[in-house]
Amino acid sequence: MARDRYGVGGPQVRRCEMSLDVNTLFQVTIYVEAILGLLLLFAWVQNSSIHAVAWWGFAHIIRAASVLLFGMYGSVPDLISIDLANALLFTAFAVTWTGARVFDGKAVEPVYIVTGAVLWLLVCRLPVMSDNLDARVLIASGIITAYTWLTAYEFWCGRNEALVSRWPAIFMLFAHGALFLLRTPLVATLPWSPTNRVFGSVWLTVISFEALLFTISIAFILLAMAKERTELRHRNAAMLDPLTGIANRRSFLEEAAALGKRQGTPRDAAVLLIDLDHFKSVNDRFGHAVGDRVLELFADTAQQALRASDLIGRLGGEEFAAILYDTPEDKALVVAERVRTAFEQATHEVDGHAVKATVSIGLVNCQIPLADVPTVLAQADQALYFAKERGRNRVEVANLGLVLNKAKTAAASQAAKSAA
């Protein structure tokens, strides 16, 4: 009698336990998806500047709705529990992809958001697909994989932005899409319950559990990306000039000071101190809007003339400075002349006004590591003064060795006076 109960009742109990496990996973998934969606939306309300967080929040809520419908399988028509549930699921992944596009400043494409859902609903209406479960699983997996890999691709395209959390997001999205792509061959090898082809599947349990772990992990990674970007923007705002987008005085001087502390073989370098000629008259004649545009033009033309490895910053007002790495004096002079002529050409006409602005540049040759940053900048300032005195719109080269000797002589003289 006990053997009969085990032989008949045992499998039934196991089937109930499997069904219970899957149902529990469904309920937990619905709860988790909804909570994560609300959490992301709350985070977006706290910092509405990053709109992608709102898209990702809505994606989780849509996914919670799809899982809720899918959990109704058997109690409602398949049109609702299968077709509509999957359509919502595809839309959720599409919304996540859209959020990734918005995160990197790309336009929203409404058509692509519903493409997967529309394709699925059309395919499900085909007679040949009505009883072909494997084909439907393959199509559904392909749609999810496509949207997931597109999301990973969007994050990959924006990798130039220094966000560490991009990389785990890319990896997880690629791995999740690959797992869905493998659903069809795995379905053919894993056992199915003879009484319940959907809820009795071991594979469905694995997919459900993996999807739950993925949705929790990716939500926190995406939230970390948004937080990291906000912190990066705040850090950049403190170090960048808001008008020109280049280093501000504090950032430039800190980097220059860091150069002075670095150890290594001395290498040729050059420091340029640049001042816009008669800039006050530009503001007086054409207005501050044109004056601001002239400053922006100088920053743009100077960055184009310099290398990415060079340092340029706005020290204040119309005064700029640059450090050219691994650049001997003759090459630095060529670069300085290129900056001067490019700016003169760029401002020949600004917003319909014949501005014709020019710059004077003081150049001093030095070595990296810098021995004395204030002395180097003072020498460049002296060369700039000579350029102003000799007619402006020109480059003057200073002798750093001469000034260092003068500085040492002055220091020695001051020490002698103090001793006396």
CA distance 355 to 284: 12
Task: List CB contacts of 124: < 8 A, sequence separation 6 or more.
Answer: 82, 83, 130, 136
Please report, for residues 70, 211, 410, the alpha-carbon distance to residue 25 in angstroms, rounded to integers and kept in the order given. 12, 10, 80
> Do 183 and 2 form a contact (C-beta atoms < 8 A)?
no
- Measured torsion, CA atoms of residues 339, 340, 346, 348, in degrees rounded to the nearest 10: 180
Tell me if residue 126 falls in helix, strand or coil. coil
In this structure, what DSSP letter does residue 8 have?
I
Adjacent-strand bridge partners of 273: 321, 362
> Do 17 and 45 form a contact (C-beta atoms < 8 A)?
no
The question of whether 329 is a catalytic residue gets the answer no
Q: Which is nearest to 258 in space by CA: 332, 326, 323, 327?
A: 323
Adjacent-strand bridge partners of 353: 350
Our CA angle for 223, 228, 232, nearest 5°, is 150
Query: Of 228, 254, 255, 318, which residue is the catalytic one?
Result: 318
In this structure, what DSSP letter does residue 308 have?
T
Q: Could you tell me the two tokens for 221?
A: 């990674």
> Do 222 and 95 form a contact (C-beta atoms < 8 A)?
no
* H helix runs in 268-399, sequence order: 279-286, 288-305, 329-346, 373-389
Task: List CB contacts of 138: < 8 A, sequence separation 6 or more.
Answer: 183, 184
Residues belonging to the active site: 318
